[in-house]
């Protein structure tokens, strides 16, 4: 039995981030019967922070997939079983003993897999290994007329000897059913092997939509009355990246006292610099735009005002000063807003910063941002100008001290050298934690960024 346990190995949902408790199965890349090798990616999952590819940690042949696509599973739950020694024989194909081959002196019992019972996964146990008293043999268990169980009694666990008496469900699903007041014996399972899933419990807890349509409705009323508001609404579960973003914004908005300042600046020289840099051989093939210069200007302003790069540690009643800058870039993706950061951005040259920005944006758009990419940010830039927005009041990322909003760059009439001329103009907004940064410090940082964008040669003289 121990050898069989070592042969059929379960791969359980790992914690791919700090403190994550569950993930959603997005796509299986293998099927039962496929051969897998150590390090091969077998499934794509979405956590509360990012989409992640999971590699299998051993060789073998896929025996069973426990969790279907679109299902949320808890960290630590088994998601796939692999036969690590397929050459030893199948014992019935899927690891179970076929009923036709089971001997008269053998008894089949389910094999517990992780939190639940895997249907079809069985093992043989000789009846003689469990001697029964003679009296027990003379009284067959299911042969007498079974007393029908009344509905209220279904909540009482049946004896383990009864076939199918206990619904198959994992502990988190059982807890959900208890919280919602759902009787698991009345739930129709849709999971693999007859396992009850979270969605099954939620469906059983919701009133059946058909109950509202049972009453006959006159044809004239159907023709005359407009559809109800409920019929024109769509509901979407709050999960994954969107849920963690919402929680982070609420935590930040009601924990750190925000203050925001704005400045409108002539960035005509910066726009011209960008055009020249695009032709520079050192930046060939890299992403060169106004955001790159804004990022460099923000990093330089932080170097000139290092007190802005800090963290308010409420638990320890300390201010943590940081001698490094991990620059976050807010990116809108199909899964929601993510804020990966460039590690040690303050120490990078302009070409290195351009390459890092390009990689960050590409990875985010493709949904490949990892939780590690989003940890440890110190300040952030959000480029709302790409949506044609002039300005805004951004909310801090939890644990960060400041966030700079870059508005749209527009050609406007502007007083330049005593004359009104068309110039490229943008508005910057800086939100900061007012516990750490007072108005004077915040103003100096914002003024330094604006001064560099107006006269980008300061990148050299101040750097």
Residues identified as active-site: 434
Is residue 189 within 8 Å of residue 220, measured between CB atoms? Answer: no
CB 358 within 8 A of CB 365: no
Q: Which two tokens mark 355?
A: 């390459």
Strand pairing partners for 442?
Answer: none
Pairing state between β 402-406 and 379-382:
parallel
Dist CA 279 CA 277 (whole Å): 5
Whole-Å CA distances, 170 to 12, 198, 435 = 14, 9, 46
Tokens representing 353 are 């910063």
CA distance linking residue 256 with residue 260, whole number of Å: 12
Q: Single out the residue of 68, 13, 59 nearest to residue 38, CA to CA.
A: 59
- Alpha carbon dihedral 119, 120, 121, 123, in 10-degree steps, equals 120
Question: Are the CB atoms for 257 and 435 separated by under 8 Å?
Answer: yes
Q: CA angle, corner 101, sides to 100 and 104, nearest 5? A: 90
Instruction: Report whether 196 contacts 169 (CB < 8 A).
Output: yes
Q: How far is CA 300 from CA 50, 296, 377, 452, 462, in A?
A: 30, 6, 17, 9, 8
- Phi, psi (degrees; rounded to nearest 5) at 23: -150, 155
Cα gap 429→425, rounded to integer Å: 14
Write out the two tokens for 26.
């997005």
- 341 and 361 Cβ atoms separated by less than 8 Å: no
Cα-based distances in Å from 155 to 167, 174, 177: 11, 12, 11
The Cα–Cα gap between 21 and 131 comes to: 44
**Three-state helix/strand/coil letters over 394-428:** CCCCCCCCEEEEECCCEEEEEEECCEEEEEEEEEE
């Amino acid at each position: 039995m121990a050898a069989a346990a070592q042969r059929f190995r379960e791969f359980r949902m790992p914690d791919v981030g700090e403190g994550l408790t569950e993930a959603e199965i997005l796509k299986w890349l293998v099927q039962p019967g496929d051969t897998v090798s150590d390090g091969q990616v077998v499934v794509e999952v979405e956590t509360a922070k990012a989409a992640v590819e999971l590699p299998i940690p051993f060789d073998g042949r896929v025996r069973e997939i426990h969790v279907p696509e679109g299902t949320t599973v808890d960290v630590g739950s088994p998601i796939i079983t692999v036969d690590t020694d397929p050459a030893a024989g199948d014992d019935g194909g899927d690891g179970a003993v076929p009923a036709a081959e089971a001997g008269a002196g053998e008894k089949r019992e389910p094999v517990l897999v992780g939190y639940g019972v895997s249907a079809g996964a069985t093992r043989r146990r000789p009846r003689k290994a469990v001697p029964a008293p003679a009296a027990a043999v003379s009284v067959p268990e299911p042969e007498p007329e079974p007393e029908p169980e009344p509905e209220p009694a279904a909540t009482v666990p049946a004896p383990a000897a009864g076939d199918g008496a206990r619904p198959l469900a994992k502990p988190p699903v059982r807890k959900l059913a208890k919280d919602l007041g759902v009787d698991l014996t009345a739930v129709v399972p849709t999971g693999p092997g007859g396992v009850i899933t979270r969605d099954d419990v939620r469906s059983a807890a919701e009133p059946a939509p058909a109950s509202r349509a049972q009453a006959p409705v006159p044809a004239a009323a159907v023709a005359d009355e407009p559809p109800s508001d409920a019929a024109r609404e769509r509901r979407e579960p709050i999960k994954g990246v969107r849920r963690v973003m919402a929680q982070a914004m609420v935590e930040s908005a009601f924990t750190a006292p925000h203050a925001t300042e704005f400045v409108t600046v002539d960035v005509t020289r910066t726009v011209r610099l960008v055009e020249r840099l695009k032709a520079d051989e050192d930046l060939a093939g890299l992403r060169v735009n106004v955001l790159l210069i804004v990022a460099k200007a923000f990093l330089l302003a932080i170097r000139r005002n290092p007190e802005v790069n800090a963290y308010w540690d409420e638990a320890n009643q300390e201010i943590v000063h940081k001698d490094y800058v991990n620059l976050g870039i807010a990116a809108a993706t199909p899964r929601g807003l993510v804020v990966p950061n460039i590690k040690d951005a303050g120490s990078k040259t302009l070409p290195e910063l351009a390459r890092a920005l390009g990689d960050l944006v590409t990875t985010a758009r493709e949904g490949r941002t990892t939780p590690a990419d989003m940890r440890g940010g110190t300040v952030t830039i959000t480029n709302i100008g790409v949506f044609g927005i002039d300005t805004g009041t951004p909310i801090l990322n939890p644990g960060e001290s400041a966030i700079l909003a870059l508005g749209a760059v527009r050609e406007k009439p502007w007083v330049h050298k005593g004359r009104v001329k068309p110039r490229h103009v943008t508005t910057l907004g800086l939100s900061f934690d007012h516990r750490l940064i007072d108005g004077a410090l915040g103003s100096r940082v914002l003024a330094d960024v604006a001064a560099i964008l107006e006269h980008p040669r300061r990148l050299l003289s101040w750097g």
